[in-house]
Amino acid sequence: MRFYRGMLAVVLAVPCAVGAQKKVLTQDTYDFWRQLQAPTLSNDGAWAAYTLSPVVGDGDVVFRSTAGATEYRTPRGWTGRPLNTVGTAQGFTASPARISADSRFGVYLIYPTQAELEEARQKKVAVPQQPKASLGITNLASGQVTTVDRVRSFILPRDAGRYVVYQLESDAPPRDSTVRRDTTQAARVAVRRTFGTPLVIRELATGNETRIEDVSAFVIDDSARTLAYIVATRADGGDGAYVRDMSTGRTTALLEGEGEYAQLAMDQSGRQVAFVANTSEFRDMKPRYTLYHASVSGGVAAPIVKPAVLNGMHPSANGEVSFTRDASAITFGVAPTPEDSIPADSLADKAVFDLWHYQDRKLQPQQRIEGARDRNRSFLSVFTLRTKRALVLANDTMPNVTVSDDGATALTVTNVPYAVEAMWGEGGNDVFVTDVSSGRMTPVARRLESPAQLSPGAKYVVYFNDKQWHAFNVASGETKNLTGQLRGVRFDQETHDSPSTAPAWGIGGWTRADRSVLIYDRYDVWEMDPAGVRAPKVVTDSTGVRAQVTYRVVDLDRDDRFIDPAQPLLLRAFNNVTKASGYYEDKLDGTAAPRQIVFGDRNYGTPTKARNADRYLMTQQTVSEFPDLWTGNSLASLTKITNANPQQSEYLWPTVELVDWISSDGEKLQGMLYKPGNFDPSKQWPMVVYFYEMLSDGLHNYSSPTGRNVVNPSVYTSLGYVVFFPDIVYENGWPGPSAMKAIVPGVQSILARGYVNPKAVGIAGQSWGGYQSAYLITQTSMFAAAVPNAPVANMTSAYGGIRWESGMARSFQYEKTQSRIGGSLWEYPVRYIENSPLFHLDRVTTPVLFMHNDADGAVPWYQGIELFVGLRRLGKEAYMINYNGDAHNPRKRANQLDIDMRMQQFFANKLKGEPAPDWMKNGIPFLEKGKDQLRNVIP
């Protein structure tokens, strides 16, 4: 534990001495570069909490005074992925540190260290015996830290600061099989259950604790009046659902009896509880669940939905139970009784096969991947407490349902009628409104390509269709076109450059009582009357379109479903030309243009606001400034309170410049040009070109040094390269030539400056960028080296392939989305061939290194094989790396570092003239596989 009081807690970076030599970013620097995670403010704004963690290694949880210099740090252990592992014991996913509602205590989980986890992995320690997290409690007045060992999770009530409730780990396996005799059937029934572990209620100020054994689930209301919990015990007859009055300690049994209890829920006020249980059928081979409801004051839970009363469906333990926002209804899941599974040995001498049927909604690979989810699926239903009536809202053909805050209205969306066409990108959704009291469904719109939204007050459904916004009045059934009367204003994305229908720019929110909806065009914010009576008005006074600045509404209070028109409207602003950003304030009355709060050549993050104070927290970043935390009582006056990476001052760091040029088609394009920190324009520099569609909006983004299968500008400039990220605009049907027309003139514009060696220009890309890199080297010889990672080489074969991670056919992305061919292989065979690098490999003069992994779930690795085999057949210099069992982007840390190293070595040889490494000169024969790793190839 480390804490500082009465002094400057942030260690400021000490500048290097004048003339001191700055260091180069190498692989040994990557892992200790720190990241700020999950920042939050206390309710009164006096404290900020966050986790400060390196990429690999142990981090700290930090509590920092926002007005003074007091800071407390506690080692938090390791929340990253273990080094050199894939699919084995993983590092913890850090839960955010929390601050009690009264701002007196910080509460968090402390995870085991990297060394402890690595030792457990090497010793192959079973999961129950592996190192576990502890609970940390920091007294924010004194900095004193209290720890509790083996804690699984905790809850801090949102509005009450007296308690923390936490659950301990169990020393016993969390799941086991208990065999019981069913005396009524004289048969042995094996019941597999999850048992509970101790739950502890702790008073933060005194440390007094109350322990409840064998708790499997628990919830506490925001004001900490009521704790509800489920007991699942190995002891006979001890199962049940209970509530505890937190002020008196009185415990009431809602339901007791042997069985499985699940999906515990409480309304926001802490007055009602609901859950499902199978006590009446627990000993049956296929026990069904009942939905129970209880008022906290009443005590006893009543069965409100019993098995098989809803068209043969019954409440499901897999469907979430919750109260509607106004607590007048309960939503829950229902499912049919599960079918018997086929014994594993029953098909030993039978044919085992998949039947691919042309009318299947989903292909067999997708059905297989989604099989577990489909077996456990449930359908959303609602029980109205006033009428005591239950209604099943969803089913196989109407799968997606949103319920209003009062439970009276439901928005039902189905894509099932268009499931087959969705394979090639021509799907859609039918939208209906359901009156929950009567069950009557009213159609709203057919075959929408964009989502529909139920307004917060459930008076309207708004949707985008035919480039216009529409509002459906739930009460009257009338539909109004909200934007059709506006001329010269586009609400579809005019920058959309794929063959699919352009989506809308979006919705900014609703004013109280659904009186108006805020809708975006490319630049400005409009207020629309969903009833279609009042004329639309542009809230931002058209200043956005005039200055090419995009305004977007910032929601500082996620708990409030509406925008208060009497309050100032906070807008994030982004200049599409200069890439500057910031915040403005406006009013919905439209009486004035937006007023600037803060704006500049940096990337301002999304602010958070303390719940009970005018105190803000947000990040700011530039290419050379890490996104540290800034705080203040106004966004116009912020103070930096962190310095996550003071070591940056010791290293060479890039500058970045926004560059402009004209494509071969006459389009104005932009890109980012990164220069080394020691750049000298009188020298000749090698350059690496990297791209992925449009990147220039990230001009002011910071790039932490990392080692992966991409070109990191901070690393490559430090190694002595100029790095160019050009934007690309696309012509449908010709993605390869589009890249050629954009990138080559962009590179030529940089070469014309005179400081880049024209014989030392490399190109690299990953996935879609990898495809375009592979295509470009078939069309031009300007590149001295190319790294087209995970590319598509042959669109004719890729079109009929599968994205194995999702099981989806790849055809949709060629006909409608990123690959941009615009039609099927039979409609445009020439486009598929002309855009495929494979058919032009005889023109390649550029040496090629690329990675394509055999577990790639996005681009099948046979595409990489086709590229390599073609280059090899033509006698071209080519190297292909396949990280066995790894994904589209390597997940194994050793593989990430390895491809980073080999890309650097390849470019160093081809662009700088450095000696080729042994793997480039001699390869790595199969029988020598792995020996280079043992020789410490990775520095």
- Round to whole Å and give the CA distance between 412 and 52: 43
pLDDT confidence of residue 86: 34
CB atoms within 10 A of CB 62: 28
Closest CA to 66 of 578, 481, 640: 640
- Round to whole Å and give the CA distance between 519 and 506: 6
Residue carrying structure tokens 């094996």: 190
- Round to whole Å and give the CA distance between 643 and 523: 34
Distance of CA 335 to the CA centre of its chain: 29
Closest CA to 551 of 516, 532, 531, 527: 527
Residue carrying structure tokens 């802490």: 270
> For 582-627, how does the pLDDT look when each residue is reduced to its tens digit (9 = 90+)?
999 999 986 789 999 999 999 999 999 999 999 999 999 999 999 9
- Round to whole Å and give the CA distance between 54 and 77: 11
- Round to whole Å and give the CA distance between 143 and 303: 49
- Round to whole Å and give the CA distance between 404 and 319: 18
pLDDT confidence of residue 20: 65
Name the helix (H) or strand (E) containing 708: none
Q: SS3 letters for 232-276?
A: CCCCCCCCEEEEEECCCCCEEEEEECCCCEEEEEECCCCCEEEEE
> Do residues 541 and 594 touch, judged by C-beta distance below 8 A?
yes
> Do residues 808 and 763 touch, judged by C-beta distance below 8 A?
no
- CB under 8 Å to 827, separation ≥6 — which residues? none
Q: SS3 letters for 622-645?
A: CCCCCCEEEEEEECCEEEECCCCC
The amino acid occupying position 15 is P
Q: Count the alpha carbons within 13 Å of 833 in the hemisphere toward its beta carbon.
A: 6
- With 0-12 / 13-18 / 19 or more C-beta atoms within 10 angstroms meaning exposed / middle / buried, residue 208 is exposed
- Round to whole Å and give the CA distance between 722 and 720: 7
CB atoms within 10 A of CB 11: 10
- Round to whole Å and give the CA distance between 293 and 274: 4
- With 0-12 / 13-18 / 19 or more C-beta atoms within 10 angstroms meaning exposed / middle / buried, residue 198 is middle
Q: Phi/psi class of residue 702: alpha, beta or left (left: φ > 0; alpha: ψ in -120 to 50)?
A: beta
Residue carrying structure tokens 């700055």: 22
Name the helix (H) or strand (E) containing 864: helix 862-873
CB atoms within 10 A of CB 928: 10
Closest CA to 99 of 87, 111, 107, 89: 107
- Round to whole Å and give the CA distance between 237 and 259: 9
- CB under 8 Å to 492, separation ≥6 — which residues? 464, 467, 501, 502, 503, 504, 505
CB atoms within 10 A of CB 438: 9
- With 0-12 / 13-18 / 19 or more C-beta atoms within 10 angstroms meaning exposed / middle / buried, residue 496 is exposed
Q: What is the DSSP string of 330-385?
A: EEEEEEPPPPPPPPGGGGTTS-------TT-SS-HHHHHHTHHHHHT--EEEEEET
Residue carrying structure tokens 């096969």: 353
pLDDT confidence of residue 408: 96
Side by side, the strands of the sheet bearing 479-481 are 452-454, 460-465, 468-473, 479-481
pLDDT confidence of residue 374: 86
pLDDT confidence of residue 92: 60
Strand ranges (E), 727-840: 756-766, 785-789, 802-803, 808-809
Residue carrying structure tokens 């030392």: 760
- pTM for this prediction: 0.92
> For 885-895, how does the pLDDT look when each residue is reduced to its tens digit (9 = 90+)?
999 999 999 99
> For 538-590, how does the pLDDT look when each residue is reduced to its tens digit (9 = 90+)?
999 999 999 999 999 999 998 899 999 999 999 999 999 999 999 999 999 86
DSSP secondary structure letter of residue 27: H
Q: What is the DSSP string of 885-931?
A: T--SS--SHHHHHHHHHHHHHHHHHHHS-PPPPHHHHH---GGGTTH
CB atoms within 10 A of CB 567: 11
Q: Which residues of the chain register pLDDT less than 50?
A: 1-19, 82-90, 174-190, 192, 937-939
Q: SS3 letters for 121-166?
A: HHCCCCHHHCCCCEEEEEECCCCCEEEECCEEEEECCCCCCCEEEE
pLDDT confidence of residue 11: 31
pLDDT confidence of residue 939: 40
- Round to whole Å and give the CA distance between 301 and 86: 46
State the Cα angle at 278 between 274 and 281, rounded to 5°. Answer: 155
Q: What is the CA radius of gyration of the chain?
A: 30
CB atoms within 10 A of CB 632: 20
Tokens standing for residue 129 = 């015996």
pLDDT confidence of residue 236: 79
> For 674-685, how does the pLDDT look when each residue is reduced to its tens digit (9 = 90+)?
999 999 999 999
> Do residues 49 and 629 touch, judged by C-beta distance below 8 A?
no
